[in-house]
Structure 1
């Protein structure tokens, strides 16, 4: 297969190129090149997708399939226009943020969507969902039924995750000592390994698997995610290798704190500075981590065990340097301070409370 990847130098695009090369395909990565280099063995086409004729060189060739990871509607509208005759099948990587509601568990692909962004440029993350809806609409209109796939990815993790969302917990358990966690054991989490997603994107392109798909991981409670992270770090309870930790209590080395207390201390949810990753207090967003992947699984999506993803992510985090700044989590000093405050607060409670 002669495959054009619009991107291929940043995380998911790079992994997709790696997977396609491993499968023996002829791969070209079209990008500015500012996010890194394509993998060895891939051809590189330097393009500027913001220019009206930015894909002229790619449009002059024939491709069996195109994989696109853009979030900018203008870029996608131009690529659909220019590659309609040159690309046999178009795979667009979208997001679960396109859905109008994020509360419902088990949400399938026919759920209502947000209104599309009219502008060509998404100028802030607040417009991320509407921008991806606009991109989806451009692909569907340009390539038509049977000639495209819309892949709505969930939270992506694994080696190379610079956001810190998938690496924080296994790394923190590996560092030892009491671990501050939000006391939300039943909150759902859902993580797909970047390598599993990349391999499936290539498969979808190979087999011309048309349709709309939720590409998400297994839904597990927060307590189970923490237990798997601890096991990946070698500090979990004795267990069969890579078996799921069903109905897991919080690992013994954790120190749970109520969401209210954490908010009062200025601890943020989900990601970013001074945060506890994957914690989401608002139930209106819990369905974001509990979507159905039945359609994608039926179409060949394979998921490795969560523990393996977290173990490999831990290895990558340690190789990248444990002391470097991260996009999510608490610093050691922040966590030490919070644990001390929590202990002081507990000491002031009446005996027996």
Structure 2
């Protein structure tokens, strides 16, 4: 089953996804209108999962873009001029940002409060708006459906949040990730005042997703045969295409929209079986679905089934039914799920054969076969 640890691990993997040179897809062929007022945008990060979608969309809208990162990942070939600045937020090296002004700063990779504090020391007063990418893991209670932006946030219980590092976060990610993100949000407001926008995504999926957390499902459906499905098929699922997230953030900057928003999708509730049927329609796969109970999966100590969370009980039952009403009102739009699946598989199948052969999430076929055997034996007993 997907646990909070899995969600946090997947979030970390997504943040660390390597930049790839090709980020254009057939379903993105529609022309993009120019913005009424061009902005000067600083993006902290910009070469991970969603960053390149932000950059491409911003350039198409006529904005000027500057990236700040360590330069450890190869940058895609941008369809326009992009300024690149280098530094290292781990060591406090932000010299390249000093004495510069931007209309907007988008902070993509931050999970540590001291990164926000240090950015504030350099950028406060020099940017008009600060957009911070947070997570739905900031909420103190993930068990109830309908989590809203006004719900209580997780509380940090360590000794010194500003002393936490990437190493300490990785060592205790389940307990630290949400609280440190929540404190990073608070630090953003402390440093930048009212001109702050907080975006809290859940599962980000689609082309360029190196975690395989969503890829597992259409990939498995395409293979056909008897397929293990957790739950009764009525558990809610929430995913957002990385392109929808990235492009919406540019529109938030254009509109100067402030406040906190749950960036989860799709627009209307999506159930597990409906997600699988969409994957089946796109792939042409012909699986037979065998639904197993959450209790069986717990008994079998199943390591992870990505995206799925049982709606019936548990500390994470609300992760599939987070409220996105405020984000939709603020202009968040969604591609059809079939488009996401189509483009995701096109991207995945363009990867090297060894990459495709080893998914990073979900069950192996051998694990699945053993679980199905145990399930049928139990039902027949």
With normalisation by structure 1, the TM-score equals 0.86
Task: Check conservation: 1:189, 1:289, Cα contact below 8 A.
Answer: yes
- Asked if 1:276 corresponds to 2:305, the answer is yes
Query: Residue 249 of structure 1 corresponds to which residue in structure 2?
Result: none
Query: Residue 142 of structure 1 corresponds to which residue in structure 2?
Result: 191
1:163-202 counterparts in 2 under 5 A?
A: 163-202=211-250
Query: Residue 363 of structure 2 corresponds to which residue in structure 1?
Result: 330
Query: Residue 94 of structure 2 corresponds to which residue in structure 1?
Result: 55
- Asked if 1:204 corresponds to 2:242, the answer is no
- Asked if 1:119 corresponds to 2:161, the answer is yes
Query: Residue 24 of structure 2 corresponds to which residue in structure 1?
Result: none
Query: Residue 10 of structure 2 corresponds to which residue in structure 1?
Result: none
Query: Residue 221 of structure 1 corresponds to which residue in structure 2?
Result: 271
Query: Residue 116 of structure 2 corresponds to which residue in structure 1?
Result: 76
With normalisation by structure 2, the TM-score equals 0.80
Task: Give, in whole Å, the separation in 1 of the partners of 2:144 and 2:77.
Answer: 39
- When the two chains are superposed, the root-mean-square deviation of aligned CA atoms in Å is 2.0
Gaps of 5+ in 2: 1-38
- SS of the residue corresponding to residue 319 of structure 1 reads coil
Task: Indicate which of 271, 286, 289 corresponds to 1:254.
Answer: 289
- SS of the residue corresponding to residue 225 of structure 2 reads coil
Given the superposition, is the C-alpha separation of residues 79 and 197 from structure 1 closer, same or farther in structure 2, using an over 3 Å criterion? same
Deviations 1:80-129 (A, max 9, x none): 12101221111011111111111222222111111247423252322111
Gaps of 5+ in 1: 237-251, 269-274
1:225-304 counterparts in 2 under 5 A?
A: 225-235=275-285, 253-268=288-303, 275-281=304-310, 282-304=313-335
- Asked if 1:8 corresponds to 2:46, the answer is yes
- SS of the residue corresponding to residue 270 of structure 2 reads strand
The offset of 1:38, in angstroms, is: 5.0
- SS of the residue corresponding to residue 283 of structure 1 reads coil
Task: Check conservation: 1:159, 1:316, Cα contact below 8 A.
Answer: yes
Task: Give, in whole Å, the separation in 1 of the partners of 2:77 and 2:201.
Answer: 22
Given the superposition, is the C-alpha separation of residues 6 and 174 from structure 1 closer, same or farther in structure 2, using an over 3 Å criterion? same
The offset of 1:33, in angstroms, is: 2.0
- SS of the residue corresponding to residue 205 of structure 1 reads helix
Moved more, 83-92 or 29-38: 29-38
